[in-house]
Each structure stands twice: as structure tokens, then as C-alpha cells.
Amino acid sequence: MRLEEDQDCWVCDYCRNIYFPEKNDDGVRVLGEPSRLACPVCQVALLTAAIEHQRLLYCDRCRGMLISMNVLPGLVEALRAQAPDGAALVPRAADPNALRRHSDCPQCHRPMDTHLYGGPGNVVIDSCSVCYLNWLDTGELWRMVRAPDRKYGEDA
């Protein structure tokens, strides 16, 4: 079996069977192929995974996600488009203590920038501008997706 590129499945080169792993509680298909990168929280190998045909790295222990900065906005929008009406969560303030955490980029091992995400959800994320990667702790992607929508130009 080989991992099909840009797909959420494995393909057998011999019989052409296709295997789609089930989505877990986070909506992630854990494809299971270990990466060479370690989780910045748990220090275990991150696993290849996918959400909506977008590849990411996933920690099976803490359920954090390493997502390319190029992929994150489109992924949030795609998931929002699929969310049922009335799925928005009541917004809650970001935890100010989360801004004091420190973690290193799994790829270049430099300190990541911890900051409020510029989009919806009041989420604190970690970013590496050198590697162009975002680290999301468990549940943060879904807080972004389910945050109330606000049109550009509206008053805050």
C-alpha cells in the first residue's frame, strides 16, 4: 500500500484497492505514516493526516496539528462552508496565559511566535514564519470554524 498523493487514502499497487481511514473525533483522517518531525508539545513523531483533502501533520497523543500557513485559511473556509446552520459557537475570550507559552518549530527548531490568530475564534496559535507553519492545539481549528462570522467593514 502506498499513500496516494493529495488524497485521504492508501492505494494497493497490486490490486488497486483503496483504503480510506475513518475520521476521528477531530474530523481528521490519520493516515498513519510517521513524519520525521516531532510534536512541539509531546515530542512524539507527528503522523501524516488529512482534513478535506488537505495534508497536515497530527499528534495522536495531544491531538495538535501542524498546518501550512498557505493551507489554513482555505481549510477554515472549506470547513465553514460544510458546517450546518446554527453551528456557530458563542465566542469566548482567548486565554491570556496561552500567550506566555513557548514552543519550538518542529521543522527548524527555532522558537515559534505565539500570538492571537488574525481570523475568527479568539484562538492563540504558534507560528514559524521561517518554515511557514502553524501549530494548533486540540480544538483550536474547530473554534475557528465555528466562530460567528462577521462581514468585512462591520463595527466590532
Query: What secondary structure, in 3-state letters, does the chain show?
Result: CEECCCCCCEECCCCCCEECCCECCCCCEEEEEEEEEECCCCCCEEEEEEECCEEEEECCCCCCEEEECCCHHHHHHHHHHHCCCCCCCCCCCCCHHHHHCCCECCCCCCECEEEECCCCCCCEEEEECCCCEEEECCCHHHHHHCCCCCCCCCCC
**What pLDDT is recorded for position 4?**
64
Query: Which residues, given as ranges, of the chain have pLDDT below 50?
Result: 151-156
What residues are paired with 128 via a beta bridge? 133
Long-range contacts of 123-130 (CB under 8 A, 24+ apart): 123/94, 124/94, 124/95, 124/98, 124/99, 126/40, 126/101, 127/69, 130/105
**What pLDDT is recorded for position 105?**
97
**What pLDDT is recorded for position 153?**
41
**What pLDDT is recorded for position 104?**
96
**What pLDDT is recorded for position 154?**
44
**What pLDDT is recorded for position 22?**
81
pTM of the model: 0.82
Which of 125, 119, 122 is closest to 99 using CA atoms?
125
